[in-house]
Each structure stands twice: as structure tokens, then as C-alpha cells.
Amino acid sequence: MADEEKTEQAEGEEGAKPKSKKKLFIIIGAVVLLLVGGGVAFAFIGGGSSGEEGEDEQVEEHQEKHYETVEFDTFIVNLSANSSFLKVKLILEYDPELVMGGEGEGGGHAYGGGASGGGEGEGGLPGVLGEKEPQIRDAVIRVLSSKTAEEVLTQEGKEALKEELIEAINEATGLDEGPVVNIYFAEFIIQ
């Protein structure tokens, strides 16, 4: 009988060992899965490095930059070297902080301040664009009339014209930093 009890105990121990190992592997596997899942969640939700935070701040700062647009006049000019003419309507995209003189800075810019101090000019242009409207119109007419039809017919020619107009307008404002960042052609006809 004693032999029977020993064999039953031995069988019971052998039967218990595989079950406990199986449970142990399941528990270890679950813990590893939880750690990996937690690490992935931490990385996606809030565990960025300090370098990534700096990039996020730069992106937010760039997104906070707000530009406005204003419709400028339609210009009809004779093109250079032939009897063609160009009719173009411009929309100016500008930085309102630069155009309005920084909102409350007292007109300390090189454009002369004046009594209007950030209001609209005769043509409805805001701030310094309105104050310098005659100079801006002159600059636009000079640039447009210096072109030939062949120069402005291509897409590359139109892009070059935009860049030249932006440069001329910004120079005409007299500001250190150019307020006009882009120009859109609302109308562009060559005859």
C-alpha cells in the first residue's frame, strides 16, 4: 500500500508540473504583451523626445502665421516690343502684422506713419499698402510693361512675373521686411 501511495503522489506531482509550467508561460506571455502594448501606446500618445517637442512647437508657430488677401486693381498695359496688351487682375497675399505696422506700435516703420496709421488707402488696400498705393501701382505697371507676350505666355513666365511683382511691390512699400508673400492672378488676358 505504501508503494501505491508513492506512485499516486509521483503521478500527482508529474501532472501538476505541466499545468503549473503552462500557467507560468501564459502569465509571462500576458505580461510581455502588456509591456509591449504599453510601450507602443506611450510612444504614440505622449512619449516624444525633447527634439520632437521642438519640432511640434515650430510647426505650431508656422501654422499660427496668418496671411490675408486683398483684391488689387485690374491693370491694362501695352507689352514691350509689339502692339499686344496685357490685362491682369491681381490679388495680393500679405502679412497683416507687417502691413498694419504691428498693431499698436505707433507707426515706427520707414513708410512715414501719417495720420491714416493703418487704415485703408483710396483703392481699399490696408495699411502701408494703401499708403504706398501710387508707388505700388507704378512698380506694377513698370514690371508688366517691360514684358513681352512670349515671356508671360508660359507657366514659367507667369511664375517669374509673380516673383518680380512681389519683389517690386515689397520694395515700393519701403519696409525692411516685405509684407507681400504671394500674388494670385484673378484675370490674365493677352491680346
* pLDDT, greater one: 44 or 53: 44
Q: Which CATH superfamily is domain 68-190 in?
A: Band 7 domain (3.30.479.30)
**How much is the pLDDT for 38?**
80
What average pLDDT score do residues 31-56 get? 70
State pTM to two decimals: 0.57
**How much is the pLDDT for 140?**
93
Span of 29-33, 100-104, 109-113, 180-184 with lowest mean pLDDT: 109-113
Quick one: pLDDT band at residue 60, thresholds 50, 70, 90? low
What average pLDDT score do residues 136-157 get? 91
**How much is the pLDDT for 10?**
52
Q: What is the mean pLDDT of the chain?
A: 76
Interval 79-101: pLDDT, tens: 887 778 999 999 999 988 888 87
Other beta carbons less than 10 A from residue 118's beta carbon: 20
**How much is the pLDDT for 96?**
87
3 state SS for 17-74: HHHHHHHHHHHHHHHHHHHHHHHHHHHHHCCCCHHHHHHHHHHHHHHHCCCEEEEEEE
What average pLDDT score do residues 122-147 get? 86
* pLDDT, greater one: 76 or 121: 76
Whether residue 78 contacts residue 96, with contact meaning beta carbons closer than 8 Å, is answered with no
